[in-house]
Structure 1
Amino acid sequence: MSRPAAALCLAVSLFLVTYAVNLQAPLYDAYAAASGRGPAAVTIAFAAYVAGLMPTLLCLGGLSDRIGRRIPLAMALLLGAAATALLVVSPSWTTLVVARMLLGVGTGLATTAGTAFMVELMGADRSRSAALAVTSATSLGFGGGALATGMSLSLTGPSFFPASFAILFVLAPLLAVCMICAPKGAQAQGGALVRLPVFPRGTWIFGATLALAWSATGMIIAVVPLELAMHGLFGWTGPVIFLAIFVGFLCQPVAKRLSDKASLALGLALIPSGFGLILFGSWMQAIAPVLIGTALSSAASYGFVFLAALSEVSDRAGQDRSRATAGLFVYAYAGFSLPVIGSGVLAETMGLVPAMAVFLGLLIVGSIALAGFLTARSTAPVEQPT
């Protein structure tokens, strides 16, 4: 297999791994109802994904440095298919928690190995293009799974085995074989199998901003669908989740032309603005502000902030790209999960809209603080990771 063909297969593989992550999102409410659970349980199941992903990032972020890039990517594809199969065999809240944890492990393996592998296939001189390829593939995947399930359910009616699941079952084994047959990347390194992530100096601002951006995305994926369902707008769940990520994909070519500092600043302006519109639409029970706000949040999270953060960390990581990518995603997924859990607990006592209002207040404070730091000093100079 040629390197360009391998890079294409890698992009499709990253798409499919992340496609599996939100594939079941339009069915969250159905899984919870089948087990007699409420909003807090739904957010806990959603965040179980991070319970699988975080240990993978922390302990196995450099696994592909040790055993090569191909095996972790093949494992991630098969884990995504296995997790989804569990939900078909036994659709329940408990199974959803287990499946989400497996999906987290798969994503951790794929994102750390995939970023480094893409740079190796495309060449170190094209690292920013490689980062764009990775962010584009994963952005489409994260949003595409939910949209595919939403469309399947709208066409065939309620089902715990929509056609979108079948697509994953067919493609995952085929792509796993393609990954095994891909050219080798960098020479595998010696040393311990468990390799902790690294955090290159001067990159905390990128990690913190990505955490803030992805906290809004986590709320859109996990909490906003519950609010939509309460108002009879369940059919909009798939499109909202897709929009939450797809607009970011469309913005990435624009972000590539901006400096990383400018991308971060623009993202910090869009994050609270977008979620403010979502809150307004939820309060007014109007779908238009929700869609517009989702689009703005997406532009920030998966467009300007994601590309800038991944590009900067990759450039500053030296030979530790996979471990540095793991470090970046530690930031990102902490932001992605913790506010969702907190909002789910608040929603049990305050209601969904008040819980979302509290989150918006914290989002505004965080955006102002990070924007102030960016204004006060320029981005730290490139240094080698410690």
Structure 2
Amino acid sequence: MTGVTVLPSHSRRLNALGRRGAFRLHASVLVGLLAASSAPTPLYALYQAAWHFSAMTLTVVFSAYALALLVALLTAGTLSDHLGRRPVLAGALLAEAAAMAAFATPNGVPALIAARILQGLATGVATSAAGAALLDFEDPERPGRATVANGIGPVAGMAAGVLAATALVQYAPAPTRT
């Protein structure tokens, strides 16, 4: 070796963004994804009234997300350890965007279930990667912040998502499109 130190790509990115900025970015991804996951909930009553489906069908729509999330967490939980946090999060965010687009234009219960499954898979993959990234970028002088962010972020995101969506359903024009 010629005495040149080669930084891994993770270190170069850390220098550009900073540990604190990277931590905040990944925490916001975690909060945002969980906000998106709860956002469709207030719309289900509108869809149920418009499409005349049963309470059992509504339960299937809700459970499709939960099952897909569980499958993603169990099968892809360590994917970012092998492929890297960035590509896994990028793929999950693209899948989440596709799910949100599908929610904007559903034409029936099967489309709603498909959007929920896609959203569950994307959220499960992304929460694993974002949670791990929070641990990666935790300030060593302030230990425990990643644990707090991983504990509070999802709950805060879900609360914010359902509250914002409820306000839009109540007050915005064309709530299924807004």
1:65 aligns with 2:87: no
1:251-293 superposed Cα distances (whole Å, 9 cap, x missing partner): xxxxxxxxxxxxxxxxxxxxxxxxxxxxxxxxxxxxxxxxxxx
| TM superposition shift of 1:34 | 2.9
Contact 1:86 1:95 in 2 (8 A): yes
Find the aligned partners of 1:24 and 1:154 in 2 and give their Cα distance.
Answer: 13
- Once the two structures are superposed, residues 210-238 of structure 1 have per-residue CA deviations (whole angstroms, 9 ceiling, x without a partner) of xxxxxxxxxxxxxxxxxxxxxxxxxxxxx
- Listed one character per residue, the Cα deviations across residues 311-343 of structure 1 (whole Å, up to 9, x for unaligned) are xxxxxxxxxxxxxxxxxxxxxxxxxxxxxxxxx
User: Using the alignment, how far apart are the partners of 1:124 and 1:110 within structure 2?
Assistant: 24
Distance across 1 between alignment mates of 2:107 and 2:158: 21
Whether 1:115 and 2:131 are equivalent positions in the alignment is yes
1:14·1:138 contact (CA, 8 Å) conserved in 2?
yes
Divergent runs of 4+, >6 A: none
Cα offset for 1:124?
A: 6.0
Q: CA RMSD in A?
A: 1.8
Letter in 1 for 2:18: S
Mapped to 2, the partners of 1:105 and 1:114 lie a distance apart of 14
> C-alpha displacement at 1:125, in angstroms?
6.8
Amino acid at match of 2:52: G
What is aligned with 1:38?
Answer: 54
Structure 1 residue aligned with 2:102: 86
| Letter of the structure 2 residue corresponding to residue 37 of structure 1 | F
One-letter amino acid of the structure 2 residue matched with residue 5 of structure 1: G
Which ranges in structure 2 are unaligned for 5 or more consecutive residues? 1-16
Contact 1:3–1:121 (Cα < 8 Å) also in 2: yes
CA offset digits 1:4-33 (Å, max 9, x no partner):
111111111111111110111101112223
CA–CA distance in structure 1, aligned partners of residues 144 and 43 of structure 2:
36
Partner of 2:156: 140
- Aligned partners of 1:30 and 1:144: how far apart in 2? 20
Asked if 1:10 corresponds to 2:26, the answer is yes
Residue type of the partner of 2:79?
L
Alignment of 1:304-323 (within 5 A): none
> Residue deviations 1:160-213, cap 9 Å, x none?
112xxxxxxxxxxxxxxxxxxxxxxxxxxxxxxxxxxxxxxxxxxxxxxxxxxx
**Distance (Å, rounded) in 1 between the aligned partners of 2:89 and 2:101:** 19
Long gaps (5+) in structure 1? 163-386
Identical residues among aligned pairs (%): 32
User: What is the rounded CA distance, in whole Å, between the counterparts of 1:143 and 1:91 in structure 2?
Assistant: 27
Distance (whole Å) between structure 2 residues aligned to residue 127 and residue 66 of structure 1: 25
**Residue 151 of structure 1: CA displacement?**
0.9
Distance change (3 Å), C-alpha of 1:127 and 1:70: farther
1:18 and 1:142 in contact (8 A); partners too: yes
Structure 1 segment 179-328 matched on structure 2, within 5 A: none
Q: 1:103 aligns with which of 119, 128, 133?
A: 119
Q: Does structure 2 retain, via aligned residues, the 8 Å contact 1:10–1:118? A: yes
Give the conservation status (yes or no) of the 8 Å contact 1:61–1:109.
Answer: yes
Give the aligned length. 162
**Pairing partner for 2:65 from 49, 62, 67:** 49
Where relative contact order (Cα < 8 A, 6+ residues apart) is larger, the structure is 2
Partner residue, 1:381: none
Name the residue aligned to 1:161.
177
